[in-house]
Amino acid sequence: STDGGRNLSLDSIPMGLPMSDPTAWATAMNNLGMAPMGMTGQPLLPDFDPALGMMTGIPPINPMMPGLGIVPPPIPPDMPAVKEIIHCKSCTLFPPNPHLPPPATRERPPGCKTVFVGGLPENGTEQIIMEVFEQCGEVIAIRKSKKNFCHIRFAEEFMVDKALYLSGYRIRLGSSTDKKDTGRLHVDFAQARDDLYEWECKQRMLAREERHRRRLAEERFRPPSPPPVVHYSDHECSVVAEKLKDDTKFSEAIQTLLTWIERGEVNRRTANNFYSMIQSANSHIRRLVNEKAAHEKEMEEAKEKFKLALSGILVQFEQIVAVYHSASKQKAWDHFTKAQRKNISVWCKQAEEIRNIHNDELMGIRREEEMEMSDEEIEDPAEMKETEESALVSQVEALKEENDSLRWQLDAYRNEVELLKQEQGKATRDEDTTKEQQMKLLQQALQGMQKHLLKVQEEYKKREAELEKVKEEKLKIETLLENLKEQEGSTTRVCACSQEKECPVEKTLSNSPVKSEREVLLVGIISTFLHVHPFGASIEYICSYLQRLDSKICTAEVEVLMTRLQNTFRQELSGVGASLEKRWKFCGFDGLKMT
């Protein structure tokens, strides 16, 4: 029976308060005439005899409540908390009245590990306090006062919650009933500087860890920094100049050159080096233009390949649709089942829809090409003047650039002359003769450059005069073109009035110029075609479009029909000289107002 009492499992109980003497508890229960029961309901003494004498005057006791020396397991929140008697070696703890409200506590300080314990017996010692509260956890320090209270500091924060469970218990030392040996415990949170300091240290450590995690995350997603640009020196300048000549290393070298210029490395001594590097960077423009032209050519070739492939796909779609149509004829259609006929009709509809989509796409590409061609044909002769003007402007800009470059060279030579003058006083007599020769040579070069500069300025003035003359000629041509357009409008109006005067008899004889339904259809198709082409189209272009619909249509028939309908179609001449061409335009909206 004693072994069964010692093997009680108390790990599942929140406060591990062990029994002080399980054997004495089992003997006491045996004397009371009750079978000692464990937490699981198993008897602690299997040889217990219920016929043994029972002490008189003691009521029956619930074996789960008194004298177990432990705190009961967790109680559901909807049930009232019932505390038990706790036996220790030197004292006994009696629970408070369960009907009273729980003892009040102050607000819990952050990181609290210290509790205030009041209501201790006057004869209580630190050993007794340690015996009671060490069952809640490891006690680090006890500070006892002479006024029946103390402060207890635990190792962890959760141990404070276990100590608060004992608040309200009545303590009795041994079996004495003296007032000095009894008291009512009051356990509450205590504010200690050590607890606050440790909590602040812990919070700072957590904040450091959080900052470190954030920094690592930011560094993980931060883009890599560009490589540092070296500082300017003569050696690095020569290296960058060589890289600028290489197409593969041009981008790296041009970035270095830009950084140096922005840093302010250009001065009188390094100006010539920087000018040569800028000149080599300028030489890459032609290469870039050629690359762009090559890419544009590749794009045009890809467009042509796409158009050819699309036309081939359309041919195959037409063949598939023709197969479906031939299968839908009665000769073959009667031999298929209902399900097969349904599938064939569905497939035919799908193929026709896809074919129409691709056909519209191809027609759109062709329309864009035709519009581009028509725009090129309608270009005015004034554009030739504009091209000449742009050529003159480009020449003037080139002369300006050359003028600026010559000025920069002059500044560079002047800087060198000044440096030579400064070094003249420091050099020896033998070196003076060589410097004088260099000075003469530089002066001669300066004179030649000045003469060349004067020539360039004269050419620049001549070009400006020519440019002004071209602008005046352009204005004259524009005024002439406006006058010609006004004259053409007046002549067309006179011709229209004369034709109306000459042909009143014909109008009365034939009220309707359209004689058949076929001609009505032709008029509608031609009107829509010319409405899409606002700049007009030749009779051959119109007939080529109509012959796609009906190969029997001839050019003479279409031309006669269009000349009959003067209020619907109008013929105009466009172009100059050899490029003179007759074009038909749709004028139905204007003719409607006139009629």
Residue finishing a domain among 285, 307, 329: 307
What CA–CA distance (Å, rounded) separates 417 from 367? 68
Q: Burial of 149 by CB count in 10 Å (0-12 exposed, 13-18 middle, 19+ buried)?
A: middle
Domain of 298, in residue numbers: 234-307
Backbone angles phi, psi at 34, to 5 degrees: -125, 145
What CA–CA distance (Å, rounded) separates 117 from 128? 13
Backbone angles phi, psi at 100, to 5 degrees: -80, 155
On whether the CB atoms of residues 135 and 18 are closer than 8 A, the answer is yes
What CA–CA distance (Å, rounded) separates 310 from 316? 10
What CA–CA distance (Å, rounded) separates 163 from 134? 9
The 8-class DSSP code of residue 365 comes to: H
User: Is residue 130 located within the same domain as residue 148?
Assistant: yes
User: Is residue 176 located within the same domain as residue 120?
Assistant: yes
What CATH number does residue 186 fall under?
3.30.70.330
The 8-class DSSP code of residue 537 comes to: B
On whether the CB atoms of residues 173 and 132 are closer than 8 A, the answer is no
> Would residue 381 count as lying in a domain?
no
Residues 6+ apart with CB under 8 A from 571: 562, 563, 582, 583, 584, 585
Q: What residue type is assigned to position 35 of the chain? A: A
Residues 6+ apart with CB under 8 A from 47: 1
Query: What DSSP line would sit under 568-581, residue for residue?
Result: TEEEEEESSGGG-E
Nearest to 151 by CA among 139, 165, 169: 139
pLDDT (0 to 100) of residue 155: 92
User: Is residue 258 located within the same domain as residue 328?
Assistant: no
User: Is residue 302 located within the same domain as residue 326?
Assistant: no
The strand order across the sheet containing 182-184 reads 86-87, 91-94, 170-173, 182-184
pLDDT (0 to 100) of residue 11: 37
What CATH number does residue 585 fall under?
1.10.10.10
From first to last of its 595 residues, the chain has per-residue pLDDT tens of: 334 333 333 333 333 334 344 444 444 444 434 444 443 444 444 444 444 333 334 344 444 444 333 344 454 444 445 788 888 888 989 998 888 888 888 999 999 999 999 999 988 888 899 989 998 999 999 999 888 899 999 999 999 999 999 999 999 988 877 888 889 999 999 999 999 999 999 999 999 999 999 999 998 888 877 778 888 899 999 999 998 888 888 888 888 999 999 988 889 898 999 999 998 888 888 888 999 999 999 998 998 898 888 888 888 988 998 898 888 888 888 888 888 888 989 999 998 899 888 888 888 888 887 787 766 555 555 556 566 677 777 778 878 878 877 887 787 778 778 777 777 766 666 677 787 888 888 988 888 888 899 989 898 998 888 898 888 888 888 888 888 888 877 776 655 555 555 545 444 435 667 778 888 888 888 888 888 888 888 888 889 888 888 888 888 888 888 888 888 888 888 776 667 788 888 888 877 777 6
Nearest to 124 by CA among 202, 200, 179, 85: 179
Q: Are strands 170-173 and 91-94 parallel, antiparallel or unpaired?
A: antiparallel
In terms of DSSP H, where are the helices of 146-283? Answer: 158-164, 193-221, 234-245, 250-263, 271-282
User: Is residue 196 located within the same domain as residue 267?
Assistant: no
> Would residue 217 count as lying in a domain?
no
Q: How far is CA 268 from CA 275, 368, 403, 438, in A?
A: 11, 57, 20, 19
> Would you state the structure tokens that stand for residue 367, as one six-digit string?
């329309």
Residue finishing a domain among 256, 274, 307: 307
What CA–CA distance (Å, rounded) separates 261 from 243? 17
> Would you state the structure tokens that stand for residue 108, as one six-digit string?
């819990």
Q: At what angle do helices 271-282 and 382-424 cross, to 10 degrees?
A: 160
Q: At what angle do helices 517-532 and 555-564 cross, to 10 degrees?
A: 90
What CA–CA distance (Å, rounded) separates 437 from 417? 12
User: Is residue 323 located within the same domain as residue 296?
Assistant: no
Q: From its phi and psi, is residue 264 left (phi > 0), alpha (psi between -120 and 50) or beta?
A: left
User: Is residue 276 located within the same domain as residue 316?
Assistant: no
On whether the CB atoms of residues 69 and 18 are closer than 8 A, the answer is yes
User: Is residue 132 located within the same domain as residue 110?
Assistant: yes
User: Is residue 121 located within the same domain as residue 165?
Assistant: yes
pLDDT (0 to 100) of residue 199: 94
> Would residue 374 count as lying in a domain?
no
Residue finishing a domain among 153, 185, 202: 202
What CA–CA distance (Å, rounded) separates 138 from 152? 10
> Would residue 503 count as lying in a domain?
no
> Would residue 521 count as lying in a domain?
yes
Hey, is 58 helix, strand or coil?
coil
Using alpha carbons only, what angle is made at residue 16 by residues 88 and 45, rounded to the nearest 5 degrees? 70
What CA–CA distance (Å, rounded) separates 282 from 260? 17
Nearest to 275 by CA among 411, 452, 460: 411
Query: What DSSP line would sit under 280-296, residue for residue?
Result: HHHTHHHHHHHHHHHHH
User: Is residue 316 located within the same domain as residue 286?
Assistant: no
Torsion angle (degrees, nearest 10) of CA 522, 524, 526, 531:
180
List, in sequence order, every beta strand (DSSP E) within 487-589. Answer: 569-574, 581-586
What CA–CA distance (Å, rounded) separates 92 from 63? 17
Length of the chain: 595
Q: Is the pTM of this model over 0.75?
A: no
On whether the CB atoms of residues 96 and 168 are closer than 8 A, the answer is yes
User: Is residue 141 located within the same domain as residue 105?
Assistant: yes
pLDDT (0 to 100) of residue 378: 57
> Would residue 124 count as lying in a domain?
yes
The CB-side HSE value for 264 (13 A sphere, CA atoms) comes to 0
Backbone angles phi, psi at 64, to 5 degrees: -85, -20
What CA–CA distance (Å, rounded) separates 478 from 474? 6
pLDDT (0 to 100) of residue 552: 82
User: Is residue 255 located within the same domain as residue 269?
Assistant: yes
> Would residue 393 count as lying in a domain?
no
CB atoms under 10 Å from CB of 59, counted, come to: 5
> Would residue 56 count as lying in a domain?
no
Taking the alpha carbons of 23, 26, 27, 28 in that order, is the dihedral positive or negative?
positive
Q: What residue type is assigned to position 446 of the chain? A: L
CB atoms under 10 Å from CB of 348, counted, come to: 17
On whether the CB atoms of residues 27 and 44 are closer than 8 A, the answer is no
Number of structural domains (the chain) is: 4
- Strand partners of residue 118: 149, 186
pLDDT (0 to 100) of residue 216: 92
Nearest to 115 by CA among 70, 166, 73: 166
